[in-house]
Amino acid sequence: MSNSFGNIDNIPSRDLPKKPGVYLLHDKKTGWIYVGGTKNIRSRISVHRSLLHRKKHTNNQLQKAYDKGELFVYVLVVLPSTETKTRIEEIEGYFIKAIPTLFAIDSINLRCND
């Protein structure tokens, strides 16, 4: 993954694209993975970070990984600004299906909307 960034707290927002795309949040300790698709990667990661920092994230797996300093972010694909929400969700779904093969794990979110 050439667009990997690292620990969610160490990524300056300015380094994240303001474009649509698919990203991955990875618990380095347990191997658990969350895949999300969004119209604005920078904004969405900022929302995740804010909720996690305030201990208000609705995803307990992500919150636990963050609290232990083990949550890492990877931008999997940046899409054209004209991409539709439906198309972003479709691409996100492809990544969700491919992750168990790519990472040889079963721990992944099954939700396809972000």
The domain total for the chain is 1
Q: Give the tokens for residue 23.
A: 């990203």
- Classify residue 113: in a domain, yes or no: no
112: helix, strand or coil: coil
The conformation of residue 19, written as its DSSP 8-state character, comes to S
DSSP states of 34-95: EEEEES-HHHHHHHHHHHHHTT--S-HHHHHHHHTT-EEEEEEEE--TT--HHHHHHHHHHH
- Classify residue 68: in a domain, yes or no: yes
What does the pLDDT look like over 99-113, one tens digit per residue? 877 776 655 554 433
- Classify residue 112: in a domain, yes or no: no
Task: Please give the residue range of the domain that contains residue 36.
Answer: 4-103
- Classify residue 108: in a domain, yes or no: no
We report the CATH number of the domain holding residue 78 as: 3.40.1440.10
Calculate mean pLDDT across residues 24-33: 90
- Classify residue 111: in a domain, yes or no: no
Higher pLDDT, 113 or 77: 77
Find tokens 């609705």 and name the residue.
58
d(CA 13, CA 29): 24
pLDDT-wise least confident of 30-39, 79-88, 98-107: 98-107
